[in-house]
Structure 1
Amino acid sequence: MAKTMTTDLPSRFEIRNLGPEHSDWALAILCHTNIFYGPMWSSNYKGAEAVKRCLGLYEHGRYLVDHQIDSGYSFGVFDKEYTFKRPESAATGGRLYWDVERDTADADNLDAEAMLDRMDFPLVSIALSYDSVNPLDMSKMIPLTRVVPKYGEGFARLIAYDPRDPATWKATGPLQVLFRNSTSTRRDYEGRKLMKVQAHWLMRWAKEMGFRGIQIEAFNDAVRKVWTNPPPPFRGEAISEVKTGEEVVEEEDGTVRRPFGNSTQTLTRCYVTLK
């Protein structure tokens, strides 16, 4: 598979196939953007707690990232004109300066900007994917869901609310349905339409590879908009939704629990028909 592909991005950016050498960077982008700026997480985790959740996700979320990178179907946008903040980063082509133990202990003195400053590498946006016939091992996802239980709650409901007959869409072999998971753009690169351009490129690429559909769970409005309104000839639709602000669970003792806390974000399972 080619490592660099042409796209509609400005010339300073390029989409590349991600490899194991990018795992640390991709995981950091996923953790930072979701915990500090993702609507569901940022409404529940503030201050030092947000820093700790970010680091906890970084510590326990590697399987989710590596499974998708190892599939060969994960991509990222790189800034070819990136200016390194530290000489030691330039020497290695980029470096992440997070330390889980040290930074967790110092969480009261850290924030989103401080954590971003320690992300000194040219990868700026990620779109991770895997062939649905090689699914995630849910037992290996348990440590992640303990850090962010609302992630598991959201996926469980999107699956439960999906009205489709599995026989009408699920893959029966490889190169049929691509599962997208983990869409993130670094905070300092937002507003450049990197996510949208990369998504549209990925749709074209997946069709050329032979996939007939792409499924993605959108946990923010921008991702939902892009994946339910793909460019022609593709067709996008919202399959199931979770209105997190309306979800309540009545426990056995009669108490009521709000599984998504303060969140009012609508979660959406999206499906794009490629052919």
Structure 2
Amino acid sequence: MAPSLPSRYEIRVLGPEHEEWARAICLYTNVFNSALWPVVYPENKTKRAYQTFRAAHYIIKHQIDSGKSLGIFDKEYQWKRPESATTGGKLYWNLEDESATESELAEQMDFPLVSIAMAYDGIDELDMAQIKPLIEALPLFEKVYGALAERDQRDPTSWKPTGRGQVLMRNATSTVQSYSGRGLMRLLAEEMMRRSAAEGFRGIQIETVSEGVQKVWSFPPKPFKGMVIGQFHTMTFEEKNDSGEVLYPFRPANVNIAKVYVDLRASD
């Protein structure tokens, strides 16, 4: 029997009022806690957190506006600052204060949203021009998606949506560090699968830079079926420069990166 969400938590569809919180959770966990980004970009992490926070407004808003992004809220959340209670939560980051430490930035995230699963309807494609500032802040971000696209051998007509409500695109899974290890990511992922299936979606696609996330989406609960479409390992991924020299752009990160597709209509 699948584990159920403890009573202290509640899953809700994210709304515009949660955009800044979701963006902070997403960029904080990526810049400081990911198996990839803080390893390949170990310097000036606070500055990079602010830069990516600014640059990610479009992609986070796009997914919230879709009405398909979910979050887990802690109903027993204890406020860090009394004034946060008056607004139901608040982000206190000062984007000009690059001296702030990782722990200080975490302390300045005072809201009950503790885990997010961002997604959008695949028919509403991303505007890549608006993604450019995020790529400039994390240059290897573009290489991740390019490498996965090269390894995707499917006929696009076999899976790409032709209308609304067919394929959900998952983009960004993050849990507040102090809540990690509680199984919230899995519970949120499986809830998204069930909701999407009930709404008539035939599939969900996700790119993962976490082996834990890859496992959850590759082995979903029945009757759903997960398939790894393409993957590579950061230690062995190589490319050649114009001089023919072999480069390993993702080292020293040591993680498997994958594209996973979940068939929501699998019959076996």
The TM-score, its normalising length taken from structure 1, stands at 0.92
Measure how far apart 1:192 and its partner are: 0.9
Correspondence for 2:139 among 126, 144, 149: 149
Aligned counterparts of 1:23 and 1:257: Cα–Cα separation in 2: 38
- Letter aligned with residue 54 of structure 2: E
The root-mean-square deviation of aligned C-alpha atoms, in Å, is 1.3
- In structure 2, runs of 5+ residues without a counterpart are none
- Letter aligned with residue 44 of structure 1: V
Measure how far apart 1:42 and its partner are: 2.0
Residue 25 of structure 1: aligned partner: 21
2:49 is the counterpart of 1:93: no
Aligned counterparts of 2:36 and 2:140: Cα–Cα separation in 1: 8
- Letter aligned with residue 77 of structure 2: Y
- Letter aligned with residue 72 of structure 2: V
Measure how far apart 1:218 and its partner are: 0.8
Residue 3 of structure 1: aligned partner: none
**Conservation of the 8 A alpha-carbon contact between 1:153 and 1:259:** no
- Letter aligned with residue 84 of structure 1: W
SS of 1:246's equivalent in the other structure is: coil
Could you list the per-position Cα deviations for residues 155-192 of structure 1 after superposition, in whole angstroms to 9, with x for gaps in the alignment?
11101110111111111111111000010000010111
Measure how far apart 1:256 and its partner are: 4.1
Aligned counterparts of 1:8 and 1:166: Cα–Cα separation in 2: 36
- Letter aligned with residue 148 of structure 2: L
Residue 82 of structure 1: aligned partner: 77
Measure how far apart 1:267 and its partner are: 0.5
- Letter aligned with residue 40 of structure 1: L
Residue 137 of structure 1: aligned partner: 127
Residue 4 of structure 1: aligned partner: none
Measure how far apart 1:44 and its partner are: 2.1
Measure how far apart 1:248 and its partner are: 2.4
Give the paired residue count.
263
Residue 201 of structure 2: aligned partner: 211
**Conservation of the 8 A alpha-carbon contact between 1:176 and 1:211:** yes
Aligned counterparts of 1:112 and 1:271: Cα–Cα separation in 2: 34
Greater share of helix: 1
Shifted more, 123-132 versus 258-267: the winner is 258-267
2:12 is the counterpart of 1:16: yes
Aligned counterparts of 1:20 and 1:175: Cα–Cα separation in 2: 21
Measure how far apart 1:254 and its partner are: 4.1
SS of 2:44's equivalent in the other structure is: helix
2:164 is the counterpart of 1:169: no
Measure how far apart 1:226 and its partner are: 0.2
Residue 32 of structure 2: aligned partner: 36
Correspondence for 1:117 among 104, 107, 115: 107
Residue 260 of structure 1: aligned partner: 250
Percent identical residues: 45
Shifted more, 81-90 versus 242-251: the winner is 242-251
